[in-house]
Chain A
Amino acid sequence: MGNGAPFVPGRVFSKVPGVAYLLVVLAVAFAIFESRFATVANLLNVGVQSSILLLLALPMTLIIMTEGLDLSMGAVLSLSTVVMAFALVNGHSVVAAVARGAFVGLAFGAGNGLLVVVGRIPPFVATLGTLGIAQGIALVATDGQSVVGVGARLPALYRATWLGVPFSIAVATAAYLVFHTLLYHTRFGTYVPALGGNPDALVLAGVRAKTYHMAVYALGGLTAGFAALLLTGRMNSGHPIAAIGMEFDAIAAVIVGGTSFERGNGWLPGTVLGVLTVGILKNGVDLMEVPSSLQVASIGLLVIVALLVDQLRGRLRGRA
């Protein structure tokens, strides 16, 4: 799970994480047992469904690399759909509405960063708190109801395709490229694994480690808020609990993708694979009409299997 030049083929191949095998196994299994799975329309659907999850999983990867966690992402995303929908209902442009949703996300992310870095509250606790706050605000503002009447512009944008590529997949791809550049080609990205792996080294190197640490959380909130663009577009409305619990799918995807909570070990391409694996799993069990409660269990099982496969491979290489 390299961090330096991540696309040297030999390096990537020697370290293909367990998730890649899982992805192939799942896809082949569903293709064999479910005739509706391996169609262009359905696979595009998997991509669309995975887009929002990827937007959460990308910043979640960075946060987990700092040995942190953000449980508030689903609640912040939900709140942002509400904010965005209200803005559209009030006649603001799509850009202005997205900006408002993203700003609310940024505010929550910055708050998380302050609590964790300056307040020294463990990330689990701090973001659990902001989860409650975001959810509470969204519920109060909407009385628990959907915010409808967002007009036609956002849904039209969401339904648009470029060369057959749905809007949400294009947005998710762009987001990946931004995060990839950020993590592997900027100072900020260099400091992310250092924050998790050896923060003292950063301080000794004269880096303002706390600022960067807070920025990681702020980026998480910002991206979660921005993701409301896709979720609001898909629902044609804002909803106060639309994305509740999605942070757990994101965390699962990141872990399945080979990022560990230890010493800054993380790999962004793996997160894409993890998101696709979770997406295919959800789609497949959906097609096979597995009850929704069992779907949740299937993701839990996926995480455990992925980690066991990686453990085993590590042990086989003699470095468990």
Chain B
Amino acid sequence: MIPEKKAEKTPVVEMRRISKHFPGVRALDDVSVSVHGGEVHVLLGQNGAGKSTLVKTLYGAYQPDAGEVFVDGRPVRIASPADARRLGIAVIFQEFSLVPYLDVAQNIFLGRELRGRLPGMLDHRRMHEEARRLLAPLGAGFATDTLVHRLGVAEQQIVEIAKALSQRARVLVMDEPTAALSEREIRTLFDIIRGLKAEGAAIVYISHRLREIFDIGDRMTVLRDGRNVAALRPAETSVDELVRLMVGRQVTTTYRQRFCGSPGDPLLDVRNLHSRSGVADVTVSVRAGEIVGLAGLVGSGRTELARAIFGADHRSAGSVRVGTQSLEGGPSAAVAAGVGLVPEDRKAQGLALIRSVRDNLLVAGLRHLFPGGWYRPAAAARSAADLIARLAIRTPSPTRLVKFLSGGNQQKIVIGKWFTAGARLFIFDEPTRGIDVAGKADLYALAEELVGQGAGILLINSELPELVAVCDRAYVMRDKRIVGHLGRAELSEENILRLAMHHG
């Protein structure tokens, strides 16, 4: 036995003092992480902490502004995914890199097909044999000539792993590999990971499920706001400490002047809602004057819930009431009942970018403004000017094309659009994404004004400090269900994260 050996070994991969800036964002600031062979290194952090950026840098999708990457102690330059692959680095992304209408073997060997004896021909037989050999220890229960689109998510994950192994990858990055897996599939995956570890692979593991990282992790690095905040071993820490490290001390900005003391009539009353998109047994309510948060990690079902309430996704059971009306059917019924959805992707779903500010503001309210069906330009111009003033939209003219406005102003137009349609209940889905601090303050001032006039808002926001600063209370989602409700007094990032993450 040489007990010192492992500690002295050079890491298989080391990222030293990596920095990466995007316009307006310091995505990575002096981050260092190293992984040894035979080790699972867990990367932890909230949404936006820099994990994805770090992985993309390692995979050659981004070039760092500063810092170096070493493989086996030698400095390397990773200019493209092909470089990463040559160096033995493989990434299993959350969105799979599989081709739906190729079979398992073809996917495993994509880009490195085995050639047959005849020039230009592929050796299908040998590729299927090799694929079977790679898949056997992974416990795959499907044939290598199955088209990938027929496989379930867990099976596709296994194909991804086999693909990485076939490249003789020594560094395997897994980005939330268990997000879509069942308990049993997770156990299989962990067996596979332990097997890979025993063979000396270096594994970088990203997950939000705190319990499993104690099961599988050898070391942990916590990132926050693009920086290293801690490097730990599982035995030396606890769930509570990890949550505290991930949250840290945030600079709190005041986005809300006055919270709602006495909410008014119920505006939204959702009971035992199930949807075809997976939302299960959700009961939530919003009253006039309230801003109610909907918290949860990416993929926890918040957007699905919003879409189901709005009628954009099919509701399979349960009831949705808006005011005194029971909602049946699609979005047009929701709009008629006074619901306004401000969608996540405002450019694609909420705005006609190459139309004017005026057209966009009035489009949802045309029926309201012109009940007879005749468009009266003078009346339209008046309504638009009135809205622009009330929402404080900064535009040189009402006829300016929306695509030339800032993100914050575009978002106000989406809100204004519903305002003209007579909406009283607003669903905001990530309204401040890509908007600067001043824009955010503006937007939340507008939100507060809306609820002050008797509207209600259901707010989805992945930026927890914002959510905590703005909401009167919040629901927390996980696995498409509501797992907790926090009143104003208990509303904190720690409490939200504790509910939103898997442990226990």
| A residues lining the B interface (CB < 8 Å) | 1-5, 8, 11, 65, 181, 185-187, 190, 193-194, 196-198, 200-207, 263-266
- Check if B110 sits within 8 Å of A207, measured CB to CB: yes
Rounded to whole angstroms, the CA-CA distance of A264 and B16 in the bound complex is: 41
List B residues 120-149 near A (Cβ within 8 Å): 120-122, 124, 145, 147, 149
Would you call B483 an interface residue if the criterion is a C-beta within 8 Å of the partner chain's C-beta atoms? no
Q: Is B447 an interface residue (CB 8 A)?
A: no
Decide if A197 touches B100 in the complex (CB within 8 Å).
yes
Query: Considering only CB atoms, which chain B residue lies closest to A319 in the complex?
Result: B150
List 10 additional contacts besides A2-B145, A5-B103, A206-B85; criterion CB under 8 Å: A4-B145, A186-B120, A187-B120, A197-B99, A201-B107, A201-B110, A203-B81, A205-B112, A206-B111, A263-B101
A86–chain B nearest beta-carbon distance, Å: 34
Known: A186-B122, A190-B106, A190-B110. A8 touches B145 (CB 8 A): yes
Measured in the bound complex, the distance between the Cα atoms of B122 and A265 in whole Å is 21
| Closest A residue by C-beta to B115 | A187
How many Å lie between the Cα of A264 and that of B99 in the bound state? Answer: 8
9 A-B pairs within 8 Å (CB atoms) are namely A4-B102, A4-B105, A190-B122, A193-B101, A200-B97, A202-B110, A205-B112, A206-B85, A264-B102
Residues of B within 8 A of A204 (CB): 81, 97
Tell me if B's interface is mostly helix, strand, loop or mixed: loop
Q: Chain B residues near A185 (CB, 8 Å)?
A: 116, 121-122, 124
B111–A186 touching, CB < 8 Å: no
Tell me the B80-109 residues at the A interface (CB within 8 Å).
Answer: 80-82, 85, 97-103, 105-107
From B100, B122, B149, residue with most partner A Cβ within 10 Å: B100
B147 touches A2 (CB 8 A): yes
Q: Report the separation of the CA atoms of residues A197 and B96 in the bound assembly, to the nearest whole angstrom.
A: 12
Task: Point out the residues of chain B lying under 8 angstroms from A1, CB to CB.
Answer: 101
Indicate if B72 sits at the interface (CB-CB under 8 A): no
**Residues on A with beta carbons closer than 8 Å to the beta carbon of B85:** 205-206
Given contacts A190-B113, A206-B82, A263-B149, contact A198 B98 (CB under 8 A): yes
Query: How far, in angstroms, from A203 to B99 measured CA to CA in the complex?
Result: 12
B111 and A202: CB pair below 8 A?
yes
The residues of A that contact B100 with a CB separation of less than 8 Å are: 193, 197-198, 263-265
Q: Is there contact, CB below 8 Å, between A3 and B113? A: no
Q: Is the CB of B110 within 8 A of A197?
A: no
Query: What 5 pairs between A and B have smallest CB-CB spacing?
Result: A205-B111, A206-B82, A4-B103, A201-B97, A194-B99
Most buried by B among A186, A198, A264: A198
**Distance between A206 CB and nearest chain B CB, rounded to angstroms:** 4
Chain A residues positioned under 8 Å from B116 (CB to CB): 185
- Given the contacts A186-B122, A194-B110, A201 and B99 also touching, CB distance less than 8 Å: yes
A8 to B103, CA, bound (A): 13
Q: Is the CB of B112 within 8 A of A264?
A: no
User: What are the residues of chain B within 8 A of A8 when measuring CB–CB?
Assistant: 145
Whether B102 contacts A186 by the Cβ 8 Å rule is no
Measured between beta carbons, the chain A residues less than 8 angstroms from B124 are 4-5, 185
